[in-house]
Structure 1
Amino acid sequence: MNSHYTQEFARATPGCIIILVDRSESMGMPWAGSAGLTLAEGAAIAINKTLFQLCVRSTKEAGQPLRPYFYIGIYGYGLCPSAGGEGVESALPGPLAQRAIVPLPELADSPIDVRPNPSTDAMPGRGRLPVWYEPAHGFRTPMCAAMHLAGSHATEWAKVFPKSFPPIFINITDGLVTDSPHRGLDLAGWAARLTSIETGNGRALLLNAFLSASQAPITAFPARPENLPEPGPELFAISSELPETMIRNALTAHVELEPKARGFVFNADLAMLVKFLEIGTKFEVSHG
């Protein structure tokens, strides 16, 4: 029996979730069918909802401190609001921006703001929601450089937690990569480097969500790349097959899957992006 991707998420074996988010100029375009939001604004809503849900799952008792069941990294590529110009930088909030990957309790204690919780079809909005990630857009799409930087930090994390579930990379983009090749490797090469990072519980997983400013048919978790326009085939090719844990999440979310479905969605709207992130990050934790 294959024992990969079976490790529970606990204090001794935490998970690592790294979000790569496109901050190119085109992310400032209106997102069709998403209540007047730009792509960048919608992505920020989905990211913040996901981080909040991770906080909820890491809480054993109401009012008690969060357990460090997850480590989080967020990397923006394109506009770098902190450093200026185009590139890749940590998009963690405030003083955490100088860090590469942080325990979830530290992130939970460092929100930028607390605002009304926006509602989506995939996740209702009730009460108020902490905000850790703010939208930004400008310049081009240096996706390879983002994978390079994030991968270097995830490699070090995997050495510290060799028995944990392997790192999960979630790439949110709306455009064609503009820095392939980067340091002698094309996008497929950098994606292969990411997914070669491993723990004793398997190799890292790479999930990709492609957003489109226009209303177009959504392709979610395909098993084949047929009939996808660019950059669909390229992103499909670098996306990991869903492990059993994520397959169960998808079925619970009423998403039908074919065998060998991959962690990829093309032309996602906001509701699908929220659902996609939920499927990729919803894990049972050990409260022992």
Structure 2
Amino acid sequence: MNNSKQWSSATPGYIIFLVDQSGSMSESFTGDKNKATFTALVINRTINDLIFTNSAGDKIKDRVFISIIGYGGKGGNSVEDIRSDYLSAFAESPLRLERIKKKISDGGGGLVEIEEEMPVFVEPTANGLTPMGEALIFCKQLIEGWNGKKPDNPAPVIINVTDGFPYEGQNGDEPNKTLKSAKEVMGISTIDGNPLIFNIHIGDGGREVQFEESESKLVDDETKLLFNISSKVPDSYRDAAKKHGFNIAPESRGFVSNAGAETLIKFINFGSSGGTDRIA
């Protein structure tokens, strides 16, 4: 199979949100929010959307297992399993509830702003370096453990959100370490195909580069690395990509460089879709 097995309560999917929590994530991004704050907001909303989508009355169907992995956030080259749980456990025990403002239709063609409570599962953090390679090594261990216990389940998906080049200190070879680790993850064999890695680089106002087919069209080392550590978009994910306005070619890799706020939201929704409507 080629990453086409649908999530179900019997065979849940597995999503790993890989979150860059390095010091540069404190930089301003959109509105009054920095990169770390906006990234946490989008991931929290995505998990809440998954909870809503997989609800049947008062019951949350465990069609997906989620890991939130932060790298750099504890300082230096730290990698932290912030939380790993089934969907129902996230629903039952968020870290806290946060009041947010939301605009909805007023029924007469206009919008009205309301306040609602949103469960929070990951807090914004900006600290330390960018040990992306170490984080991917940890992901490999998680996926191998999952695959050993759940060999019939859909292939896992990693969604990596970063704002920079891998960096562990002056004496390291982080790009090669990151590339090697990513290739090892994508080389794991499951019944449903290989695990997928989708990468999004949060930009600083430069030109967005989306879902390119060839490294030859890329001009800087950072974007080339992102391309090379990203999976080819499987056929099963093409409709989800198009739904969110992404142009997908036959050899497109699942990555975006220099993403703005709107693209970050769409990309994480695409990556966490399971390739379908998330329901089986």
Task: Please state if 1:233 is matched with 2:235.
Answer: no
Specify the alignment match of 1:264 in structure 2.
Answer: 255
- Alignment of 1:48 onto 2:41: no
> Residue 125 and residue 45 in structure 1: after superposition, are their counterparts in 2 closer, same or farther (change >3 A)?
farther
For residue 244 of structure 2, the aligned residue among 241, 253, 257 is 253
Report deviation, 1:235: 0.8
> What letter matches 2:72 in structure 1?
G
Displacement of 1:209: 0.6
The correspondence for 2:65, drawn from 51, 66, 71, is: 71
Distance in 1 between the 2:40 and 2:266 partners? 14
Q: What is the match of residue 202 of structure 1?
A: 193
The one-character-per-residue Cα deviations of 1:110-145 (angstroms, maximum 9, x if unpaired) are 21122234669xxx9973321111010111101111
2:4 partner letter: T
Report the 3-state secondary structure (helix = DSSP H, G, I; strand = E; otherwise coil) of the residue aligned with 1:116: strand
Give the TM-score taking structure 1 as reference length: 0.85
Q: Does 1:211 align with 2:207?
A: no
Aligned 8 A contact 1:114 1:129 in 2: yes
**What is the CA-CA distance between 1:286 and the residue it aligns to?**
4.6
Q: Is the 8 A contact 2:134 2:178 kept in 1?
A: no
Equivalent position amino acid for 1:219 in 2: V
- Kindly tell me the number of residue pairs found equivalent between the two proteins: 264
CA distance in 2 between counterparts of 1:151 and 1:118 reads 38
The DSSP-based 3-state class of the residue aligned with 2:266 is helix
For the pair 1:104 / 2:104, whether they are aligned, the reply is: no
Q: How does 1:106-121 map to 2 (within 5 A)?
A: 106-117=89-100
Question: How big is each residue's C-alpha offset from its partner over 1:137-188, in whole Å with a ceiling of 9 and x where there is no partner?
Answer: 1111011111111210111101111111101011111111114547xx7211
TM-score (norm 2): 0.88
1:172 aligns with 2:161: yes
Deviations 1:192-227 (A, max 9, x none): 111122320100000101012x21111222222323
- SS for the counterpart of 1:90 is strand
Summarize the alignment of residues 86-165 of structure 1 with structure 2, pairs less than 5 Å apart: 86-92=77-83, 101-117=84-100, 127-165=116-154
1:28-48 CA distances to partner (integer Å, 9 max, x unpaired)?
0111xx112111111111111
RMSD between superposed Cα atoms in Å: 2.1
Looking at secondary structure, tell me which structure has more strand per residue: 2
* Residue 284, structure 1, aligned to residue 267, structure 2: no
Letter in 2 for 1:102: D
Percent identity, please. 27
1:25 and 2:16 aligned = no
**SS where residue 129 of structure 1 aligns?**
strand
Check the 8 A contact 2:73/2:128 in 1, yes or no: yes
Listed one character per residue, the Cα deviations across residues 44-75 of structure 1 (whole Å, up to 9, x for unaligned) are 1111111111112211x23x221110001111
1:77-110 CA deviation, whole Å, 9 max, x = no partner?
A: 1121xxx654111122xxxxxxxx3211112212
8 Å Cα contact 2:76/2:129 also seen in 1: no
Is the 1:43–1:270 Cα contact (8 Å) retained in structure 2? no
Change (3 A) 1:125 1:158: farther
Q: Give SS of 2:59's match.
A: coil
| Structure 2 residue runs without a partner (length 5+) | 104-112
What stretches of structure 1 move > 6 A for 4+ residues in a row?
Answer: none
In the alignment, does 2:46 pair up with 1:15? no
Which residues of 2 match residues 181-200 of structure 1 at below 5 A?
A: 181=173, 186-200=177-191
Gaps spanning 5+ residues in structure 1: where?
93-100
1:95 aligned residue: none
- Which residue identity is paired with 1:253? H
SS at match of 2:33: coil
Determine if contact 2:102/2:116 at 8 Å carries over to the other structure.
no
